[in-house]
Amino acid sequence: MKIAVIFPCIDWIKQYNRGSFSSDLVASIIVSFMLIPQALAYAILAGLPAEVGLYASILPLTVYAIFGTSKTLSVGPVAITSLMTAAAIQGVASQQAVDPVNAAMILALLSGFFLSLLGLLRLGFLANFLSQPVVSGFITASSIIIALSQFKYILGISASGDNLPDLIQTLVANIHQTNKITLITGSCALIFLFWARHYFKPLLIRFCLSEHRASLLAKTAPVLIVVITSLAAYQLGLADQGLALVGKIPQGLPALRLPVFNPALWLDLLVPAILISIIGYVSSISVGKTLGAKKRQKINPDQELIGLGASNIMASLAGGLPVTGGFSRSAVNLDAGAVTQAASVFTAIGVTLVTFTMTGLLAFLPKATLAATIIVAVLGLVDFSILKKSWDYSLSDFIAVALTMTITLLIGVELGVMCGVISSIALHLYKTSKPHIAEVGEIGGTEHFRNVKRHQVQTHPSILSLRIDESLYFANASFLEDEILKNIEQRKALKHIVLMCTAINEIDLSALEVLKSLNHQLKKLHISFNLSEVKGPVMDTLKKTDFISQLNGQIFLSQHMAIKTLVEQELLASQNHPDFKDFQI
Amino acid sequence: MKIAVIFPCIDWIKQYNRGSFSSDLVASIIVSFMLIPQALAYAILAGLPAEVGLYASILPLTVYAIFGTSKTLSVGPVAITSLMTAAAIQGVASQQAVDPVNAAMILALLSGFFLSLLGLLRLGFLANFLSQPVVSGFITASSIIIALSQFKYILGISASGDNLPDLIQTLVANIHQTNKITLITGSCALIFLFWARHYFKPLLIRFCLSEHRASLLAKTAPVLIVVITSLAAYQLGLADQGLALVGKIPQGLPALRLPVFNPALWLDLLVPAILISIIGYVSSISVGKTLGAKKRQKINPDQELIGLGASNIMASLAGGLPVTGGFSRSAVNLDAGAVTQAASVFTAIGVTLVTFTMTGLLAFLPKATLAATIIVAVLGLVDFSILKKSWDYSLSDFIAVALTMTITLLIGVELGVMCGVISSIALHLYKTSKPHIAEVGEIGGTEHFRNVKRHQVQTHPSILSLRIDESLYFANASFLEDEILKNIEQRKALKHIVLMCTAINEIDLSALEVLKSLNHQLKKLHISFNLSEVKGPVMDTLKKTDFISQLNGQIFLSQHMAIKTLVEQELLASQNHPDFKDFQI
């Protein structure tokens, strides 16, 4: 039982049969066709030799098949983490002479350890602090940067930078060096891919393919343009006319090895590695959940951390770059019929075969073609609707999204992610530090209490019922005190305050001190201080202190009972009072 | 009206009379006697020439009297901020040749601008993020460091460091150089001050002084030992035997001036200045509130920021160090009868007179005496009870306090404060990311719903009522989803889920997406998804979306109505059902 949690592969291996095998095999062939150009392209996007992408697409997939819980997630290099890898390598390369491949391996290893550690400590929930709207905004902004960064390959010029202003400036500065043959190749590839995106599937259907098969085959369009432009480059000798090719790729696989140890460099790469891990994990888990929901398969967030962690450690040992679960490939994997993680293992075998047999052909692949596949892929991720959606919903969500996008576009991905996390948390804390406080009254004929400003309710001049809509903790405790004291000043007839604690989920030590001081002040003013509807866990902590014994009032089970008791008490007091007739509740 | 908010002095000047004058004058004389040795001592603690403390005790007090809202707060150099000033100056001095006085002026100026800015933007609530237990722990830890740092003056040796290990190591390494005459002077001063702390007041009462006067006069004991040891040093020529004296202090006051501008240095001092500001403000506001409560005087937190900000700007221009409101002097000021801020103005005049007339005498003041006054003063602030208190109350409060104290003692004050703030926030977020979720049922004979595990309640097998004790936001949204889906798996008869929203104070965009997905999944399982007791502000945001229209269930005003309606609905459905007799609610 427990072994199956650590090795989820045991479950699917046990039930494996011929039907699963053939389904998985078909899916793996289609995914391999998608993966190979993507792997090469994303390695180049990360500023690495193309073959590094292939190395990151073999062992990581196999290891994920052992440790991962999603049956259809396709792990490998993806656009966003490759961009972040590029930014991280550029960041350290400016200070010292750094071998990019070694740096990528360090990033993958650190990511792998970080993710595995989180998984072993069951800290998967930490990923929740990167909110979904912030991730959407970040992906849109990064995709724009990625697409723009690829235009240099379409134009055949040099350009650099990991933010919009730098990219635009260097592109504009060098645009006069545009190479004609590169531009033609790149444009053709771009046009074909955009065309294929919309019209390839209908065309295939017209050729009597079923809708499903046509849809799958259309996804392999990049392979077609890869083959066509490679052949053209080879036959026409386009490299001599300035067309940049992927070039010689070493045949076979390198031996497993650890990145070179250099403490200063590893330390410099630690924060980027953590950011890559978090972004990789958050997007992978959302892909996994989305696909899992379609087939009613559950994924385990903590085990996913271990699966992705192990994949990244393997990516490093294999000489690759950080990997994660990519949306497009995983969706194709599912659509193509993958039923278990074996499909990933077969895909890995497919990629291995390519590295042993087809490197000679890949050498003629124009970089412009790969750039075109990246541009078309990432532009599909650009989605500004999150801006409008969050604007319509709440200002704080909008601020977090807008800030993340702006910083990512104008400064860079790393600061963009950090701003996203920090601004979300800061805005949340800001809101909880100034909580909503409502005066409540009883809705006639019920035992239900609501805001006096929103509902027709019954109140009593000698009793003030307040509901604070937040836990009481250090950031807002004195806010409550100020509010109550302000209210007291305005009401001369006040004899009782009832704090309705339905929304108080915690009272920390700072807040307890404030409540004690409030109790003390109210006692001096001869106003009783009562609580109602205190929750179990909160009551448990209060019982540990002398607050309840010193409370100048009572703790009521419900607000209804509080008001009933206090009103009766007032009536009784007034009957004993000489001016009984004047008394009004 | 509005001018009186910006210049609170208008209020007290208008009502000023002879009675106030004489009260304030008496208080100011006593406070001046306390302030002068303290000002010199804290300047030396901060690693600055002694006179800098005097310069920081004249104009800042006057400016606070104009802008401050506390009638009795005594502004000036205090122990903790002086220690932080020392740490900040040491931090930058290691990198470049820095004039300590200039650095202190920069710190005061930056603090002043930072506090004024917060005040103008009405951001006083930010101080609440430094929780009271963390501040208590920090003050205790800093006081220990301060006391230990002064032992070098008592022994007449050199020692350095701004944390416990460094201080102990350097003290032990140099202890063999102890100067006898210094040790005798310092020990006598220490013994006298500890004695005075406990027995001076009873002695004075025996000399027929009233309890109140004796108590006040006892507070000026440090002046007595200052005078005695200075005279001894002068008469016996103790300086020749190795007793370190304060030495020549320039007569009169320096011209107002700005610190030298050096962008790199100013930037390096920015974070320390912000930390000094926050600690200074938080401790000052707590002193102000405590004293204000005794006399029923209100202080305005935002205006206090401006008051302290202006004081620090003035401290900088006057060539002083960062200042804030100190507890001991302010308490004496109140006890001595100060009724308005004029007492501070008179104190400032007193200090000015000293700088013009008594600098010759102060030159003979032994540093050991000043060190003794600091040690006795700060050891009064050491209070470990917060550790036990927080341990008894809640683990998260304890962790924050213990971490703050440990880091402050072992590493230093700056990291200690930062750890305190960050750990408090992190622990709060951790708690809210895994909220308490209770299944609730109706308490017989009421309309009140409570946790099934804690109360005798009524439930229905086809209805699951859950109360989540936290706002739904990005950090915990998927936690709720997981909990609900887990619950569904266990209950086969389930037809309705009611989410009781009493404790949900906010639903952010991430949480909304989760609720939508949950609604979608429940719909597929033919389980209705209902909400009850949704608060006004939450309902307002939900109404902006299509969530309500797509909800596979209803939104009920109260949990009671929800259960009533659903039970009736079930009954009706079962009556139309062939197996009516089998039906059970």
Task: Find all residues with CB under 8 Å of B337, minimum gap 6, and list them.
Answer: B23, B24, B26, B27
Q: Do B544 and A469 touch (CB under 8 A)?
A: no
The two three-digit tokens of residue A93, written as one number:
């390369």
Q: Do B394 and A508 touch (CB under 8 A)?
A: yes
Q: Do B393 and A428 touch (CB under 8 A)?
A: no
What pLDDT score does A559 carry? Answer: 92
Mutate to test the interface with A, among B474, B484, B513 (most CBs of A within 10 A): B474
Mutate to test the interface with A, among B123, B132, B433 (most CBs of A within 10 A): B132
Residues from chain A contacting residue B537 (CB–CB below 8 Å) = 436, 469
Confidence of residue B578 (pLDDT cuts 50, 70, 90): low
d(CA B431, nearest CA chain A) in Å: 9
DSSP labels, A321-354 = ---EE-HHHHHHHHHTT--STHHHHHHHHHHHHH
Contact assessment for residue A397 and residue A390, using Cβ atoms and an 8 Å cutoff: yes
Tokens 């601004």 -> residue: A423
Enumerate long-range contacts of A271-274, CB under 8 Å, 24 or more apart: A271/A414, A272/A84, A272/A87, A272/A88, A272/A91, A272/A107, A272/A414, A273/A88, A273/A106, A273/A107, A273/A110, A273/A111, A273/A114, A273/A322, A274/A110, A274/A111, A274/A114
What pLDDT score does A52 carry? Answer: 95
Q: How far apart are CA B127 and CA B139, in angstroms?
A: 16
Q: Is A172 exposed, middle or buried (0-12, 13-18, 19+ CB in 10 A)?
A: exposed
Q: Do B479 and A128 touch (CB under 8 A)?
A: yes
The closest CB to that of B394, out of A450, A471, A541, belongs to A541
For chain B, count helices (H), then strands (E). Answer: 27, 9
Q: What are the CA-CA distances from residue B531 to residues B131, B456, B535, B561 (Å)?
A: 35, 23, 11, 11
Q: What are the CA-CA distances from residue A15 to residues A11, A32, A298, A450, A493 (Å)?
A: 7, 24, 17, 56, 76
The pLDDT of residue B583 is above 50 = no
Q: Which SS3 state, helix, strand or coil, does residue A436 take?
A: coil
CATH classification number, A437-582, choose in 2.40.50.140, 3.90.100.10, 3.30.750.24, 3.40.50.300: 3.30.750.24
Give the pLDDT confidence of B364-380 residue by residue, as tens digits: 999 999 999 999 988 88
Give the pLDDT confidence of A431-482 residue by residue, as tens digits: 888 888 989 999 888 888 889 988 889 999 899 999 998 889 988 888 888 8
Q: How far apart are CA B52 and CA B82, in angstroms?
A: 11
Give the pLDDT confidence of B31-86 residue by residue, as tens digits: 998 899 999 999 999 999 999 999 999 999 999 999 999 988 999 999 999 999 99
**Which of B287, B273, B260 lies closest to B64 in space, CA to CA?**
B287
d(CA A237, nearest CA chain B) in Å: 53
Residue ranges, CATH 3.30.750.24, chain B: 437-582
Residues from chain B contacting residue A509 (CB–CB below 8 Å) = 131-133, 389-390, 393-394, 397
Task: Find all residues with CB under 8 Å of B100, minimum gap 6, and list them.
Answer: B47, B48, B89, B93
CA B279 to chain centre: 6
Tokens 């303290």 -> residue: B38
Better pLDDT: B134 or B219:
B134
The closest CB to that of A512, out of B393, B425, B433, belongs to B393
d(CA A55, nearest CA chain B) in Å: 35
Confidence of residue A578 (pLDDT cuts 50, 70, 90): low
Mean pLDDT of A190-218: 87
User: What is the count of residue pairs from A and B with beta carbons less than 8 Å apart?
Assistant: 182
Cα-flanking dihedrals φ and ψ of residue B325, to 5°? -80, 125
Give the pLDDT confidence of A566-577 residue by residue, as tens digits: 999 888 887 776
Which helix (H) or strand (E) is B443 found in, with range?
A: strand B437-443
What pLDDT score does B212 carry? Answer: 83
Residue of A nearest to B391 (CA): A509
Percent pLDDT > 70 in chain B is 98
Residues from chain B contacting residue A505 (CB–CB below 8 Å) = 432, 435-436, 469-470, 503
Q: Do A474 and B129 touch (CB under 8 A)?
A: yes
Contact assessment for residue B405 and residue B419, using Cβ atoms and an 8 Å cutoff: no
Mean pLDDT of B383-399: 91
Contact assessment for residue B533 and residue B501, using Cβ atoms and an 8 Å cutoff: yes
Q: Do B424 and A474 touch (CB under 8 A)?
A: yes
What pLDDT score does A86 carry? Answer: 93
**Which of A380, A379, A318, A373 lies closest to A41 in space, CA to CA?**
A373
The two three-digit tokens of residue A333, written as one number:
């994997």
In B453-558, alpha helices (H) = 477-490, 509-524, 536-543, 547-550
The two three-digit tokens of residue A566, written as one number:
């206090």
Q: For residue A457, list its beta bridge partners.
A: A443
What pLDDT score does A521 carry? Answer: 87
The pLDDT of residue A23 is above 70 = yes
Residues from chain A contacting residue B132 (CB–CB below 8 Å) = 474, 509-510, 513
Q: How far apart are CA A551 and CA A523, in angstroms?
A: 9
Q: Do B132 and A424 touch (CB under 8 A)?
A: no
Percent pLDDT > 90 in chain A is 53
d(CA A409, nearest CA chain B) in Å: 23
Cα-flanking dihedrals φ and ψ of residue B442, to 5°? -85, 135
What pLDDT score does B320 carry? Answer: 94
Residues from chain A contacting residue B392 (CB–CB below 8 Å) = 544-545
The closest CB to that of A505, out of B454, B470, B473, belongs to B470
Give the pLDDT confidence of A131-165 residue by residue, as tens digits: 888 888 999 999 999 999 999 999 999 988 889 99
Give the pLDDT confidence of B245-254 residue by residue, as tens digits: 998 889 889 9
The pLDDT of residue A391 is above 50 = yes
Mean pLDDT of B305-322: 96
Q: How far apart are CA B281 and CA B298, in angstroms?
A: 16
Q: How far apart are CA B250 and CA A39, in angstroms?
A: 74
The closest CB to that of A536, out of B451, B473, B506, belongs to B451
* ipTM of model: 0.79
Q: How far apart are CA A475 and CA B290, in angstroms?
A: 19
Give the pLDDT confidence of A327-353 residue by residue, as tens digits: 888 988 888 888 899 999 999 999 999
Give the pLDDT confidence of B410-463 residue by residue, as tens digits: 998 889 988 988 998 899 888 888 888 989 999 888 888 889 988 889 999 899
What pLDDT score does A482 carry? Answer: 83
The pLDDT of residue B289 is above 70 = yes
- Amino acid residing at A322: P
Confidence of residue B401 (pLDDT cuts 50, 70, 90): very high
Residues from chain B contacting residue A436 (CB–CB below 8 Å) = 505, 535, 537
Q: Do A470 and B505 touch (CB under 8 A)?
A: yes
The pLDDT of residue A220 is above 90 = no
- For residue A469, the tally of other CB atoms under 10 A from its CB is 23
Q: Do B469 and A535 touch (CB under 8 A)?
A: yes
- Tell me the average pLDDT of chain A: 89
